[in-house]
Amino acid sequence: MAGSATHRLYLSAAVVAGIIAIALAAPLLPLADPVKMDVPARLALPSSAHWLGQDEYGRDVLSRVIWGARVSLAVAFLSAMFAGVIGTTLGLLGGYARGLVELLTVRSTEAIVSFPPILLALLVVTLMGPGAVTLVVALTILYAPGYTRVAFAATLATRGLDYVTAQEALGARPARILTRTILPNVAPPLLVQFSLTVAAAMVLESGLSFLGLGVVPPAPSWGLMIRGARSTMEQAPWLLLWPCLALTGTILAFNLLCDSLRDVLDPRGSVSEIPWLKRAAARIFPSVGPAPAPSSLLSVEALTIEIDSPTGPVRPVRDLSLTLAPGETLALVGESGSGKTLSGLALLGLLPASMRIVKGRVLFVDRAGRPHDLAQLPEADMRRLRGDEIAMVFQDPGSSLNPVHRIGDQVAEAIRVHRDVTGKEAAASATKLLGDVGLPDPRQRARAYPHELSGGQRQRSMIASAVANGPRLLIADEPTTALDVTIQAQILDLLAKLKTKGDMGLVFITHNLAVVAEVADRVCVMYAGEIVEEGPVAEVFAEPRHPYTAALMASAPEGDRAELTAIPGSVPPPHALPAGCTFAPRCTRAVDSCHSIKPAFVEAGPGRASRCLRWREVA
């Protein structure tokens, strides 16, 4: 992506450079005099002497197109430059000094922006008379505010940075800081602004000339040429073509240059993927054998997720296996980067478009007792399960609710997709659900917008829409992480209360061991894309059988342990996994074989499993 943006930048820059070079070279080229008339040969067709023909006064069109480029470009560049110097200075001063200076420099130029550009230009033309100089003055006034705004914003952003503060502390004079430190940092956005201004100035210059209020005849200018050709459009329509092409082509080249400059300078703007929507395509691999009917609600077998990276495909989740019985709560716990959130999204078929399940099965038994392999289910069938049989609560309720719809409507929507009910019935159910999840005054809250609720209330609403259809399986991805500690406890209580009502299975994804102890029956500890230990919560916590679990517990700020041990190092990224045990580089108990042998996930006592070669010694 970055490569092709750079490529496009060079290409458009080369075209622009070519146009400028031709314009500059006009006096050196063997061209006819652009203003020499030859009335008998008016509207003559192209000939060997006049390659593009002659205009309404018999002047050479090719020569006028090339000399016209000089006028257009000169006016555009001069005004862009003057506007740049004046506007940038004002913006730098305003951004650096703030206060009254800001009012005089930045705010006053903003008023200019409220004028339609061409009107302000016409006002200046009325007072100064038409001509190239007037154009430069008018365009400078018009385009200076653009630079002021860009320079002001960039200065504000830069002056708060540490190195600027450091220079101030060293006693550098403001002028020096402005020119030496801030200016180079605001240069990239100003460069984009410059090419934008040149293009805009050319449009305006040609427009004014076209009206007869810009460049004064007989000097050649593209706008004037179009104006002239318009009057002889009946007899010689081809005369319109050349200046139109030259003008549009040049502006197009400048616009492309702006776009690719922006792409290169601001890589954030490039768009490379859209999640989910592309997923509708059916999966390539057919189902492997008939799915057995397990007694469990959910049974994940050897799930492996792959993502394309510049260095080839990598696997952020490998060989994930777990089971969940109806009514059970399973905690998926691990540090960030362990793959726990991706695993949760994969269960619902909500992986980003760049990722896919390459191996494994996800068997889910629906209300009717039919098993489905979620890893291979077509999107249409998956959609029928989502929000109905399987629901998900996300980490940040602030961004997971749509800001422009009322809370009640967002809950009711979940019901209406899957149930054949009227809008009124759905709304009533939604209000009841909001009451059930503990929102005070649910009737009134249902009419509120997300921004009018507290974080805890938003998460309660999210949970209400997740459990609206009485799902068999609820996946909660860090549902309390974005909330205050007291609110966290309330949400956990709410989830526990919802669990007691039926046989809903809950997969609870978290990094917080204290939360695990509170809500879960069993726990799966994830590390670098793999489950490293599994077992009943009480047993695992009392007697971990993987060094990572032990280290995680030791580092947790919970309980009355006096010492806090941070685990040294960090989770290896999926493209740079160690050869042996993934945890070996950070493990205090590792021996030589740990670095060379990949441990299997083996049974470690009744109901327990561990991915450690030495689990017996660790225990």
Partner 1 sequence: MMLRYALARIAVALALIWAVVTIVFLVIHVVPGDPAELLLAQGGVAPDPAAVAELREKLGLDQPILTQYLAYVCGLLRGDLGSSLLDDHSVAEEIALHLPRTLELILAAGLIATMLGLPLGTIAALRTGRPIDRILSAAAGLGLSVPVFVVGTLAVLVFAQKLRLVPAGGFVPFTRDPAQHLLLLLMPAATIAVGLGAVVFRMTRTSVLEVLRRDYVRTAHAKGLSARRIVMHHVIRNALIPVVTVLALHMGSLLGGTVLVEFVFNWPGLSGDLVRAVEQRDYPEVVGIVLVISVVLVIINLVVDLLYAVIDPRVRHG
Q: Interface residues for partner 1 in 143-202 (CB under 8 A)? A: 199
Least Cβ distance, residue 67 to partner 1 (angstroms)? 19
Contact yes or no for 181/167 (Cβ under 8 A): yes
For residue 391, list its beta bridge partners: 474
What are residue 60's DSSP bridge partners? 54
**Alpha-carbon span 74 to 20, nearest angstrom:** 10
Q: Is there binding between residue 3 and partner 1 (CB under 8 A)? A: no
Q: Which of residues 195-254 bind partner 1 (CB under 8 A)?
A: 199, 203, 206-207, 210-213, 223, 226, 230, 233-234, 237, 240, 244, 247-248, 251-252
Instruction: For residue 325, state whether it binds partner 1 (rule: CB under 8 A).
Output: no
- Does 404 contact partner 1 by CB under 8 A? yes
Does residue 418 interact with partner 1 by CB under 8 A? yes
Residues between 423 and 482 that touch partner 1 (CB under 8 A):
449, 451, 462, 465-466
Strands 355-365 and 371-373, how do they pair? Answer: antiparallel
Kindly give, in sequence order, each residue whose CB lies less than 8 Å from that of residue 328, ignoring residues fewer than 6 positions away: 297, 505, 506, 521, 522
Minimum CB separation of residue 458 from partner 1 in Å reads 11
Of 391 and 540, nearer to partner 1 (C-beta) is 391
Site for partner 1 (CB under 8 A): which residue of 74, 101, 112, 157? 112
Give just the sign of the alpha carbon dihedral 320, 325, 327, 329: negative
| Binding to partner 1, residues 278-307 (CB under 8 A) | 280
d(CA 594, CA 306): 25
Q: Does 351 bind partner 1 (CB under 8 A)?
A: no
Contacts of 222 (CB under 8 A, 6+ apart): 65, 68, 69, 72, 206, 209, 243, 246, 247
Cβ–Cβ under 8 Å, residues 479 and 495:
yes
Stretch that binds partner 1, among 105-113, 513-521, 537-545, 597-605 (CB under 8 A): 105-113
Q: Is 118 in the site for partner 1 (CB under 8 A)?
A: yes
Q: Using the rule CB under 8 A, which residue among 69, 144, 385, 426 binds partner 1?
A: 385
Residue 342 binds partner 1, judged by CB under 8 A: no
Residue 33 and residue 35: Cα distance in Å, rounded? Answer: 6
Among 35, 37, 43, 120, binds partner 1 (CB under 8 A): 120
Local structure of 352: helix, strand or coil = coil
Q: Which is nearer to partner 1, 114 or 486 (CB)?
A: 114
Stretch that binds partner 1, among 9-17, 395-403, 422-430, 519-527 (CB under 8 A): 395-403
Taking CB under 8 A as the rule, does residue 124 contact partner 1?
Answer: yes
Q: Is 507 in the site for partner 1 (CB under 8 A)?
A: no
Check: CB of residue 337 under 8 Å from CB of residue 511.
no
Q: Which residues, numbered 527-586, are part of the site for partner 1 (CB under 8 A)? A: none
Q: Is 129 near partner 1 (CB under 8 A)?
A: yes
DSSP state for residue 103 in the 8-state scheme: I
Give the torsion through C-alpha atoms of 158, 163, 167, 170, to 10 deg.
150
User: Considering only 80-88, 118-126, 156-164, 523-531, which stretch makes contact with partner 1 by CB under 8 A?
Assistant: 118-126
